[in-house]
Amino acid sequence: MLTVESLKKSYDDTSGRASGRRSDAGTRVFAVGGVDFEVHDGELFTLLGPSGCGKTTTLRSVAGLERPTEGRVTLGGRVLFDSKHGVNMRANQRGLGMVFQSYAIWPHMSVFKNVSFPLEVMPRAKRPGRKEIEDRVGQVLEVTELGAYAARAATKLSGGQQQRLALARALVTRPELMLLDEPLSNLDAKLRETMRFELKRLQRELNLTAIYVTHDQSEALVMSNRIAVMNQGRIEQIGKPREIYTKPATRFVAEFIGTSNFIEAKVVSVSGGEVQVDAAQGRLVAHGVETAPAVGDTVLISIRPECVDLSRERRGDVPNEWSGTVLTRAFMGDVVDHIVGVGDLEVRNRSNPNLSIPPGTEVHFSVAPDKVTLVPVD
């Protein structure tokens, strides 16, 4: 298991524009502002966030490619970094595998040589014999479906094949932990979607422990066992993909993961896990609220577009039913979005293409109480 504790990485601020990430002294800016997380054995753990949030700096700190300012990193009982005790194990001694965004394929080598090279340059005491090297390279090439291309020049592979080659090269040393830094970002959309499932299959079959870095929310939701959402050098929320999506802990998480309708409201009733709130447009009931606010608190309601049930007819017997007018309709292939105006509020609905209501139509919509999420006001 990997454990990261109170990890910080700061730089001198020469721009004078450190924004909200400046230290008290005002001369340092924190790329990583104190993060804590664990990666369990056999888990694919994703660091997800926008550019500049600190996810790659965190990954490089685990890899030994960046020296953190503070913190402690341990892996399977080994201390990789400890600022208090002056421990900073060299990157090549950490026993990690890494796949870079650019793949870093060696163009002058064949596919086989690209994969065998990490074994061939091991210290003599740890270096496998030639027969074992051939066997191990053959195994990972078969696992990554590159066995038929062993003799081919690495530059003659397609983008997806080069991505698998970079993965094979990282796997051949049998690392305790794999680090993947946006490895699919250079692929076209269709191939990227295919490779998501391919990478997840390999991770499960080989029981790999991995940290995956991406800014792509769909990629994170598809591939991860757990996700840490990062923002401005800090972790906003850690959880399983479904939990992160359905129960965002902050407005940033709700906005960054998917699309949400946000409604400001005031709490008028709290009873167990049921909370009733009043918004300018009407009353809403939320069920399954784990951390209940106090009556009188101002909260932010988050509702996913696919949870908005749109109808031409008023039903009357369903909770959280409001009325409005369709302002915009957008066909997007497998779904249709409707923007419904309710007073000065615009609510987005996402439905299958069988439901298509033209702009100007009076409609009614409802939201199941267990799909109404309360988010603390920042």
User: Could you read off the pLDDT of 103-154 as tens digits, one per residue?
Assistant: 788 999 999 999 999 999 988 888 999 999 999 999 999 988 899 999 999 9
DSSP label at residue 373 = E
Give pairs for 340-343: CB < 8 Å, separation 24+. Answer: 340/308, 340/310, 340/365, 342/281, 343/280, 343/281
Q: Which amino acid is at 135?
A: D
* Domain at 349, CATH number: 2.40.50.100
Residue pLDDT, tens place only, 216-269 = 999 999 999 999 999 999 999 999 999 999 999 999 999 999 999 999 999 999
**Which tokens in the block code for residue 133?**
């090297």
CA-CA-CA-CA torsion sign (89, 5, 97, 185): negative
Asked if 21 and 108 sit in the same domain, the reply is: yes
The pLDDT of residue 15:
58
Helix or strand (DSSP H, E) at 203: helix 189-205
Structural domains counted in the chain: 2
What is the rounded distance in angstroms from the CA atom of residue 108 to the CA atom of residue 114? 9
Asked if 200 and 86 sit in the same domain, the reply is: yes
At residue 192, the 3 state secondary structure works out as helix
CA-CA-CA-CA torsion sign (13, 15, 21, 23): positive
338: pLDDT strictly greater than 80: yes
Asked if 245 and 364 sit in the same domain, the reply is: no
* Helix, strand, coil distribution of the chain in percent, nearest 5: 25, 35, 40
Q: Which amino acid is at 167?
A: L
What does residue 171 show for φ and ψ, rounded to 5 degrees? Answer: -75, -30
Residue with tokens 């007018």: 325
Asked if 178 and 325 sit in the same domain, the reply is: no
**Which tokens in the block code for residue 58?**
């965190």
pTM of the model as a whole: 0.88
DSSP label at residue 225 = S
Among the candidates 189, 222, 254, a domain finishes at 254
Q: Which structural domain, as residue segments, surrounds residue 269?
A: 259-375
Nearest to 174 by CA among 212, 142, 207: 207
Among the candidates 197, 229, 254, a domain finishes at 254
What is the rounded distance in angstroms from the CA atom of residue 171 to the CA atom of residue 173? 6
Asked if 263 and 221 sit in the same domain, the reply is: no
Asked if 269 and 228 sit in the same domain, the reply is: no
Nearest to 228 by CA among 376, 59, 74, 21: 59
Asked if 180 and 85 sit in the same domain, the reply is: yes
What is the distance in angstroms between the CA of the first residue and the CA of the last residue of the chain? 34
Asked if 227 and 288 sit in the same domain, the reply is: no
Give the residue-averaged pLDDT of 335-340.
96
Q: What is the residue-wise DSSP string for 9-74?
A: EEEE--SS--GGGB-TTSSEEEEEEEEEEEE-TT-EEEEE--TTSSHHHHHHHHHTSS--SEEEEE
Give the residue-averaged pLDDT of 362-368.
96
Asked if 25 and 159 sit in the same domain, the reply is: yes
197: pLDDT strictly greater than 70: yes
Asked if 207 and 304 sit in the same domain, the reply is: no
Among the candidates 254, 284, 300, a domain finishes at 254
Residue pLDDT, tens place only, 56-93 = 999 999 999 999 999 999 999 999 999 999 999 999 89
Residue pLDDT, tens place only, 7-47 = 999 988 765 544 445 545 557 889 999 999 999 999 999 99
What is the rounded distance in angstroms from the CA atom of residue 374 to the CA atom of residue 289? 7
> CB count, 10 Å around CB of 324?
22
Asked if 227 and 329 sit in the same domain, the reply is: no
Asked if 247 and 291 sit in the same domain, the reply is: no
Largest CA distance in the chain: 77
* Domain at 80, CATH number: 3.40.50.300
Give pairs for 274-278: CB < 8 Å, separation 24+. Answer: 274/369, 275/374, 277/301, 277/374
Nearest to 96 by CA among 165, 172, 177: 177
